[in-house]
Homo-oligomer: A and B are copies of this chain.
Amino acid sequence: MRHPGAPSPETLELLKHEFGADLLTAPKELDARSRDDSGVRLPPAAVLLARSTAQVARLLSLANERLFAVVPRGAGTGLAGGCLAETGGVVLDLSAMNRILSIDCDSVTATVEPGVLTGALRSAAKDKGLFYPPDPASLETSTIGGNAATNAGGPACVKYGTTRDYVLGLTAVLPTGEVVRTGTATRKGVVGYDLTRLLVGSEGTLGVITQLTLKLLPHPQTQRCLAAVFPGLDAAMGAVIAVMTRGHLPAAMEFLDARCLKLVGDLLPEHVRARLSGGGEALALMECDGSPDEAARGVAAIEDICRELGALAILPAPDEAAREAVWAVRRSVSTRIHEACAVYVPEDIAVPIGRIAHMVAALPEVERRFGVDIFAFGHAGDGNIHLNLTSPDEAARPRVEAAAEDCVRLALALGGTMSGEHGVGLAKRAMLPLEIEPVSLRVQRGIKGLLDPKNILNPGKLFPDDAEEVGHGA
C-alpha cells in the first residue's frame, strides 16, 4: 500500500505562509525530529511546532486536502519509531504545548497540555499532596501526551496500573481535522463508547491529543523498599507470588536474572555480594508505600516472606538514601548492558506473572541456538520482562534479531504479548500478525479507515505492510 508522504513544494510554501515561524524547515530542526530512542533515523520534510489545538486542526485539514503525512511527536523518547516520519511528511511536534492548566485539589484531577513532561506533572501534583502514578523509565524526559499515545507504564503498574487508567478525558483532533472531546472530567462515566481508551495507546494513528484530564490520587506519605537475593528466579518469583496471595500489594516488584546480577553485582554491599558467589542467581526488589508505619510494616512482612521462601541475603533500605542506592542497582542494568555490548536489541515482552520463571528458563536454549547473550530483568509484578539480546560482535546483528523474534514467539506461546510498554510503531509492525488474529486486525484496520479515510495521520505505523509481514506459523 502506498502511503501519503511529504508535502509538495507548493504545499510546503502554503504551510510556511499558514504557520509562519512555527513551521520549521532548518536542517538542524529537521534533524532533531528525525530520530527517537529506537536508533532509526528518518528525517521529515518539515516540522510544525504546534501552539494550539486550532493549529493542529488546521494542519490536519490541509493534510487531508493536499494528501501529505502528519506524524505527531512528543519528546521522541519512544523505542519503536512511532514518532518518525517514515514517508517524509510533516512532524507535528507537541512539545511546546506544555502548560499544566490546573491541578484541582478539590476534584483530585489535573488538566494539562500534551507537551508537559511526565516528571513535571508528578512534581506539580506532589506539591499539592497529590500523586500521578504512571512511571515509565523516561518520565523525566517524556511527555504526558506521548505517554498517553503509547499507554506508557513502569514499575508502579503492579499497584497503580498504566497511563490509560489515569486518563479521564481528552481533547483530540481527529485525522480529518475535526476537534473532539472524549470521556469526562469525572472518575466515573459510562455514556457512549470509550473513545478515550481507543485513542490512548493508538500510537498517534487515530487522533492527536491536545489536552488531557487526568485522575490523580492522594500522594503516599512515604516509600520503602528492600532487595533480596535468591538462589534462582524460581525462588524469587515464588516470593513475589506469595507476597501477593498473602494480602500485600507492593508499589513495585522488580527482578534481575543471574546475568544482570553479575553485571551490576559490584554495586551491592559486601554482605550481599558474598551471597552472590555462594549461589545467588536472582534479585527481587520490592517497594511498599503509604504512611511511614504502613510502608515499614509492609517491607517487614515482605522480608519475612522472602526469608521463608529461601532468600540468601536481604538488602534493606531503611532510609531514602539507601532506597535510592537499591533502585540505582536496578536502573544501572540497562546502561551497563548498553555500554558493554556492541549489538543490543531491547525487547519488552510480557507474560502472565506465573510464567516469568518459565520464560527466563527458556532463554539459555535461545542463547545457545543463536549464539547470543540475553539479559532478563523488569517488572515481576506485572509480567513485563525487558529482554536485552546482545552480542559483542557487530556482525552478529542478524542473529540477535532472529533470537529476538524467537523470544517473542516464546512469550506468545506462554500466553503473553510482544510488548508490555514500548508499543508497535515501526519496530514490531511486521510481527503484529503473530499476536493479533485476522478478525481483530480487520476490525482495527476498519477503525483506522473510519477515522482516517485518507490515511494521512502517522501512515504505515502499527499495521503490517503486506510485503514485510512475518509468517503466522511458529
Closest to A418 in B: B191
Residue A22 is within 8 A (CB to CB) of chain B in the complex: no
Distance, CA A1 to CA B20, complexed state (A): 48
Residue A374 is within 8 A (CB to CB) of chain B in the complex: no
Number of chain A residues whose Cβ lies closer than 8 Å to a Cβ of chain B:
97
- A350 near B180: Cβ-Cβ < 8 Å: no
Select which of B188, B189, B291, B382 is within 8 A of A188 by beta carbon. B382
Query: Which residues of B have CB within 8 Å of A105?
Result: 241, 245, 354
Distance, CA A109 to CA B150, complexed state (A): 24
- B107 near A192: Cβ-Cβ < 8 Å: no
Query: Which residues of B have CB within 8 Å of A437?
Result: 180-181
- Would you give the shortest CB distance from A273 to chain B, in whole angstroms? 31
Residue A371 is within 8 A (CB to CB) of chain B in the complex: no
Select which of B181, B197, B441 is within 8 A of A198 by beta carbon. B197
Distance, CA A358 to CA B383, complexed state (A): 44
- A191 near B421: Cβ-Cβ < 8 Å: no
Which among A158-166, A328-336, A397-405 touches the partner chain?
A158-166
Which among A24-32, A68-76, A216-224 touches the partner chain?
A216-224
- B190 near A201: Cβ-Cβ < 8 Å: yes
Chain A residues 186-210 with CB under 8 Å of chain B are 186-195, 197-198, 200-202, 206
Query: Which residues of B have CB within 8 Å of A301?
Result: 291
- A191 near B382: Cβ-Cβ < 8 Å: no
- B439 near A180: Cβ-Cβ < 8 Å: yes
Query: Which residues of B have CB within 8 Å of A138?
Result: none
Residue A424 is within 8 A (CB to CB) of chain B in the complex: yes
Distance, CA A150 to CA B382, complexed state (A): 26
- A220 near B194: Cβ-Cβ < 8 Å: no
Q: Type the 1/0 row for A379-394, where 1 means its CB is closer than 8 Å to any CB of B.
A: 1011110000000000
Query: Which residues of B have CB within 8 Å of A383?
Result: 107, 186-188
Query: Which residues of B have CB within 8 Å of A447?
Result: 193, 447, 450
Distance, CA A200 to CA B174, complexed state (A): 22
Which among A5-13, A85-93, A246-254, A277-285 touches the partner chain?
A246-254
Residue A141 is within 8 A (CB to CB) of chain B in the complex: no
- A450 near B446: Cβ-Cβ < 8 Å: yes
- B440 near A182: Cβ-Cβ < 8 Å: yes
Query: Which residues of B have CB within 8 Å of A316?
Result: none
Select which of B191, B194, B420, B451 is within 8 A of A190 by beta carbon. B420
Select which of B201, B247, B415 is within 8 A of A218 by beta carbon. B247
Query: Which residues of B have CB within 8 Å of A192?
Result: 424, 432, 435-436, 440-441, 444, 462
- A423 near B190: Cβ-Cβ < 8 Å: yes
Number of copies of this kind of chain in the complex? 2
Closest to A354 in B: B106
Chain A residues 408-466 with CB under 8 Å of chain B are 415-424, 428, 432, 435-437, 439-441, 443-444, 446-447, 450-451, 462
Distance, CA A157 to CA B301, complexed state (A): 27
The CB with the most chain B CB atoms within 10 A, among A189, A352, A382, is that of: A189
Given the known interface contacts A198-B193, A290-B294, A291-B297, the answer about A187 and B350 at a Cβ–Cβ threshold of 8 Å is yes
Chain A residues 254-302 with CB under 8 Å of chain B are 290-291, 293-294, 297, 301
Select which of B129, B151, B423 is within 8 A of A247 by beta carbon. B129
Distance, CA A366 to CA B218, complexed state (A): 34
- B443 near A191: Cβ-Cβ < 8 Å: no
Residue A37 is within 8 A (CB to CB) of chain B in the complex: no
Query: Which residues of B have CB within 8 Å of A451?
Result: 443, 446
Residue A317 is within 8 A (CB to CB) of chain B in the complex: no
Select which of B130, B161, B191, B441 is within 8 A of A417 by beta carbon. B191
The CB with the most chain B CB atoms within 10 A, among A351, A420, A435, is that of: A420
- B421 near A190: Cβ-Cβ < 8 Å: yes
User: Ordered nearest first, which 7 A-B pairs have the shortest CB separation?
Assistant: A106-B354, A188-B420, A107-B352, A187-B382, A197-B197, A107-B354, A186-B350
- 27 A-B pairs, CB-CB below 8 angstroms? A105-B354, A106-B352, A107-B352, A107-B354, A158-B187, A161-B165, A162-B188, A174-B439, A181-B440, A184-B417, A186-B352, A186-B382, A186-B415, A189-B350, A190-B420, A191-B432, A192-B432, A192-B436, A192-B441, A193-B206, A193-B444, A195-B440, A197-B197, A197-B198, A218-B246, A219-B247, A247-B291
